Amino acid sequence: MLTAAIAGTIFASPSTKQILTGLRAIQSKAGTLIIVKNYTGDVLHFGLATERAKAEGLRIEMVVVADDVAVGRQKGSLVGRRGLAGTILVHKISGALAEKGLISASYFQSLTHRESLETIVATARDVILNLVTIGFSLDHCSVPGRRSAEFLTANEVEIGMGIHNEPGVNRLKSIPTSSELASKVLKLLLDQGDPDRAFVPFSAGDKTVLLINNLGGISNLEISAFAGLVVDQLASTYEISPVRVYTGTFMTALNGPGVSVTLLNFSRLKDPKSVLAALDAKTTALGWSGNVTAWDRVGKLDLRPSPPEKAHARVAPSLG
């Protein structure tokens, strides 16, 4: 996946100097791709570092991920959409393409060279254009050493809250059922009748990649149950079938008690075959829990009534 990650303090961008130091440390003749989430400080500092690195003769390109749909076109007209968990898919796809001469995915076996930086950048931008994400949380996360200005009450849930405690699009004063939450989230992601948020076209029959992300404070049981609801509603309400489903803790808001849902419209990609191979490529990166790629649900469970009690009580005949 990534060769390096450059971090600032909690919820703050690293400095231009820190970023430039990181770029110098990993410079390569093949070039370097910088993947940045769309936040003002990050775009500013990484952009400045990119220009300084280019002035030094380094081969650098930068892409900005903006997959959030909570911030609509009208509200986000100046700064655009925030970068959320869809960024993880951009990391995985770009990283695998950069190393495709070295991995065992069947699509890449016949290739003996790394992909060009230009092709990786083009693929990353194609993926970004077809990504949508929205999250919800039962509360703000706790930032060490800081007191939050506001916490939610025990009966509230906020839809569209950002990963740095930014406000969401809607705060519900009564927590709906998990099924109702899944329905509200999918409507914000997929409703083509919402001119403020229909960033990516989706149609019945589209193939998608689904990522269910734990914002840090949700149990495995809860997030797995929610993932099941989302998959079922995608099929029953929108006639959309994921080609891959990833569930886990990929991008947290520290200990945020919430979940985000990301959809990549696979049917709109220019080169879906290589993107799928890049997603399936194995990695030793500890943060990627998507190495199990099988996802093939055929039909419904055959729920048969239990046999009579007597059938359970049979004793095997004596063997002598």
Catalytic residue check, 140: no
Tokens for 74? Answer: 């009208």
- Cβ-contact 185, 134 below 8 angstroms: yes
Burial-class residue 320 by CB neighbours within 10 Å (0-12, 13-18, 19+): exposed
91: left (phi over 0), alpha (psi -120 to 50) or beta: alpha
Tokens for 4? Answer: 């390096």
Closest listed residue to residue 1, CA positions, set 316, 287, 292: 287
From the candidates 45, 91, 164, 312, give the one annotated as an active-site residue. 164
Measured CA to CA, the distance from residue 123 to residue 127 in angstroms comes to 6
How far, in Å, are 27, 35, 131, 171 from residue 67 at the CA level?
Answer: 28, 13, 5, 21
CA dihedral sign, ordered 76, 81, 82, 85: positive
How far from chain centre, in Å, is Cα 119? 22
Burial-class residue 114 by CB neighbours within 10 Å (0-12, 13-18, 19+): middle
Catalytically active residues are 164
